[in-house]
Structure 1
Amino acid sequence: MQATRFHFAHALTPEGWSTGVTVECDSHGIITRVAIGSGAGAERLSGIAVPAMPNVHSHAHQRLMVGLAERAGPGSDSFWTWRETMYGFALRLSPEDLEAVAAQLYVEMLKAGFSAVGEFQYLHHQPDGAPYADPAEMSLRCLAAADRAGIGVTMLPTLYAHGGFGGQSPVPAQRRFINGVERFLKIVERLTGEAGQNALRRTGISPHSLRAVTPELLREVIAALPLEAPIHIHVAEQVREVEDCLASCGRRPVEMLISELDLSDRWTTIHATHMTAAETRALAGSGAIAGLCPTTEANLGDGIFPAVGYMAADGAIAIGSDSHISVSPAEDLRSLEYSQRLRDRSRNALAGGAGHSTGRTLYEAALRGGARSLRQPMGAIAPGYRCDVVMLDADHPLLAGRSGDAALDTWIFSGGNALVKDVLVAGRHIVKDRHHIHEEAVARDYRAAIRRLET
């Protein structure tokens, strides 16, 4: 890649909204200079430039289920009945299928304004539970999909050892997920080696949950990791999970996580929906990032994250699309804010103060937390950051007469994906006028995978 220059008519920088912004990038897509001026010789992108968003929580294989779990079954539907349906889909994918599905998903993420993804990947074995010759086979397929789409990726192979609290045996439907420490660390080592060859890649781990990994086992794995490797874990997503943890361990999941493990900003707690006020303050004070997935949490009926209290205590947040029922940073931030309004019968619940833009407060918080969560050098149009930029369509009727915070609020609370026109990743123009550069070929391979799975 050659050094590049871009000129934005309007841009959100750390100093605020600016007009006539020229950005220079080095050969790795890292911003070296930001200046206000005419931008002679620069590629001019029309519209409103904002930093692209990290997507910190993805299960790529669940993209297959979109729209196929919305029919009521006998009895009462819940997260737990949905999980059984998800297991059925997870047991069917070949490595080739997963790569095709993930590539399609990552194209959709880029077109929505995400430029990096944290892939929480737990399909490790063949459908019958037998290991692949390369223990990292399925995770490598996700890396290949990310390369094809041109998205940054933090691979988070999942440690899954048990079927429930207290070391319960896994159920047969979990056979693709299960690994011992030695085999799991081989996956991490393989992915770490692969990441070293690509500036868009990072590697961490994702202990699935305290249901699936005991604190003792988790400490053993963490001791073998680099000190800065990110750690993502599901916690307190469901009321039943909290009740089971109390019954088995005598503590609530977030309480147990904080007391048993040394939380810091290398940790991302996915969901953390059901917390007491004391747990909320303790999690905020730990430095860990709350990885929130509001559209998935709403779809699964998880509950409402206590964002007002958590953010008032300076807790860090990030967003993820999780099961991908919706792939939209705008919609996830909107859903987060609206959940607080509905619960408290309020408005602009997370604006952070009188006169503040709710959209900008949430957007900048998710940028900061998401970049830390994924350990990706993104989240700002500033020197030292990767040139990951979203261009909002200033000519769209919804943005007529709007600029600055009003434009950002309109994107988040009304326009959504329809306002995303162009996307840069590491200074590479990946989405041009709403079209991904490999869109047709990726979609063709995705349709072929669907046909294979239907036979």
Structure 2
Amino acid sequence: MTILWAEQALLADGWAKNVAITLQGDKIANIAVGAAPQGQRVGVLLPAPSNLHSHAFQRAMAGLTERRGPNPRDSFWTWRQLMYRFLDRLTPEDVQAIAAFVQMEMAEAGYAAVAEFHYLHHGPGGTPYANLAEMAARVAAAAEQTGLGLTLLPVLYEFGGCDGRSLGPGQNRFGNTPDEFALLMQGAEAALATLPTDTVLGVAPHSLRAVSVDGLGFAASLRPNAPIHMHLAEQVAEVDELLAHRGARPTEWLLANAQVDARWCLIHCTQMEPHETSGLAASGAVAGLCPITESSLGDGIFDGVSYAAQGGRWGIGSDSNIRIALSEELRTLDYSQRLRDRSRAALASADKSTGRVLFETAARGGAQAAGRDAGVIAVGKLADLVALNSTGPDMAGHQGDTTLDAYIFAGDDRMVSDLWSAGRHLVTGGRHHAHDAITAGYTATVTKLRAL
């Protein structure tokens, strides 16, 4: 049993002062407001969000894709070719070292868990490993090392485009038939068996351009009560391709042809018409927003203002992991809305500040997308908690909502002092307990890769 005492805490029903929270195992067992100082003392205690979308291996590409290619109008599609060339170098050992570093950085940034959208399955050239789920096992091994909560989402990837064309050279490491994918899912389940009970196995049909109609239904049926994630409506070319082959826009087609509900998380959704935004908001699904990556790749701007006004749920992911920074993801999302609409405090509500809306929504939406019983500080919920240092100059004198506003808009993730994932105390004083060993392993890996 562990007792945390916070000067102020954001509980499920709002802010409270002098809060003692008792952790029993992986859950919150008791909350006492107005309690005397006791146990471990922190400044500001918040529900720690789940990072709802990550491709861990792409972290090792940071800094390698900022030169312009031969086309003066560089885009997502030219970036993707660079990514394909890079991933062909990766061994299972590389993937484990990179994933561990990414998960450590996420914990230090304030995330309690990650939904890993895992599509790098096979060896170079597409040759399967003896264990079809070898790469999934490496992601699981990284989670065992870091302690971060894991929702593993093995990806079904069948085709190179909506016309059913074969996978290209850069995609062969992703591809599986539905039957092969079912076996891979069994292997992934076995790989997760030794991890803590908050671990979740979901499924991820990659995108409407990479899976068939039958493949989409098959993937959804494999884990009927688990999270299902998919890239959707990220790029204009993707929209045009689906219009040409299925006669509908991506979000439009999915809402009409699949039972989209609260177990779904649709990633990006930066290319939607107003009727699609309304339909997605009404479905109960989570929009998986990755503002830093979407900015980096020039994807476009999600219509957060309209979506939120219609009760839409969303969460935050770090996607390409070019930069893992929770506060910056939230700030970038809000600033994109302000720039588009030439407004201020675009996502604030009548009774909650911008920072409060951003943080609470991300925490609740991320937990839903990851299949975790978390997202709020309440008795019986998983103890996914993040503490902020309240002693710095940017936090001095702030109470309640303005604490979050200062953290997101004036501060950064260096304000994170402690992080608990399902009760596991992973970060103390801003550092993960295995920071040095994990960083050394990652540094050796990327030094080798960048010399190739």
For 1:395, the aligned partner's letter is T
- The one of 134, 153, 157 equivalent to 2:154 is 157
SS in 2 for 1:101: helix
Superposed displacement of residue 194, structure 1: 4.0
In structure 2, what is the Cα distance between the partners aligned to 1:451 and 1:356? 46
SS in 1 for 2:330: helix
In structure 1, what is the Cα distance between the partners aligned to 2:49 and 2:270? 22
User: Residues 48-447 of structure 1: matches in 2 within 5 Å?
Assistant: 48-75=44-71, 76-197=73-194, 198-225=196-223, 227-353=224-350, 355-447=351-443
Q: Contact between 2:49 and 2:363, CA under 8 Å: does it hold in 1? A: yes
Superposed displacement of residue 21, structure 1: 1.1
In structure 2, what is the Cα distance between the partners aligned to 1:191 and 1:98? 15
In structure 2, what is the Cα distance between the partners aligned to 1:423 and 1:429? 6
For residues 238-268 of structure 1, give each alpha carbon's deviation from its aligned partner in whole angstroms, at most 9, with x where no partner exists. Answer: 0111011111211111111111111001110
For 2:425, the aligned partner's letter is H
Superposed displacement of residue 193, structure 1: 3.8
In structure 2, what is the Cα distance between the partners aligned to 1:434 and 1:397? 17
In structure 1, what is the Cα distance between the partners aligned to 2:443 and 2:190? 32
Q: Contact between 1:6 and 1:39, CA under 8 Å: does it hold in 2? A: no
In structure 1, what is the Cα distance between the partners aligned to 2:338 and 2:55? 28
Which sits farther off after the overlay, 97-106 or 425-434?
A: 425-434
Which sits farther off after the overlay, 213-222 or 363-372?
A: 213-222
The match for 1:12 is 10
Q: Identical aligned pairs, as a percentage?
A: 46
TM-score, normalised to structure 2's length? 0.97
Q: Contact between 1:91 and 1:127, CA under 8 Å: does it hold in 2? A: yes
In structure 1, what is the Cα distance between the partners aligned to 2:151 and 2:352? 32
In structure 2, what is the Cα distance between the partners aligned to 1:218 and 1:429? 38
For 2:367, the aligned partner's letter is A
Q: Contact between 2:131 and 2:187, CA under 8 Å: does it hold in 1? A: no
Q: Contact between 2:157 and 2:174, CA under 8 Å: does it hold in 1? A: yes
Q: In the superposition, relative to structure 1, how do residues 450 and 48 fare at CA in structure 2: closer, same or farther (>3 Å)?
A: same
Superposed displacement of residue 112, structure 1: 0.4
Q: Contact between 1:166 and 1:249, CA under 8 Å: does it hold in 2? A: no
- The one of 20, 23, 42 equivalent to 1:22 is 20
For 1:44, the aligned partner's letter is Q
Q: In the superposition, relative to structure 1, how do residues 39 and 87 fare at CA in structure 2: closer, same or farther (>3 Å)?
A: farther
Q: Contact between 1:151 and 1:200, CA under 8 Å: does it hold in 2? A: no
Superposed displacement of residue 22, structure 1: 1.2
Q: Contact between 1:118 and 1:374, CA under 8 Å: does it hold in 2? A: yes
Q: Contact between 2:352 and 2:401, CA under 8 Å: does it hold in 1? A: no
Cα RMSD of the aligned pairs, angstroms, is 1.3
Divergent runs of 4+, >6 A: none
Long gaps (5+) in structure 2: none
Long gaps (5+) in structure 1: none
Number of residues of Structure 1 aligned to a counterpart in Structure 2:
449
Q: Contact between 2:121 and 2:132, CA under 8 Å: does it hold in 1? A: yes
Superposed displacement of residue 39, structure 1: 5.4
TM-score, normalised to structure 1's length? 0.96
In structure 2, what is the Cα distance between the partners aligned to 1:286 and 1:37? 39
Q: Contact between 1:114 and 1:329, CA under 8 Å: does it hold in 2? A: yes
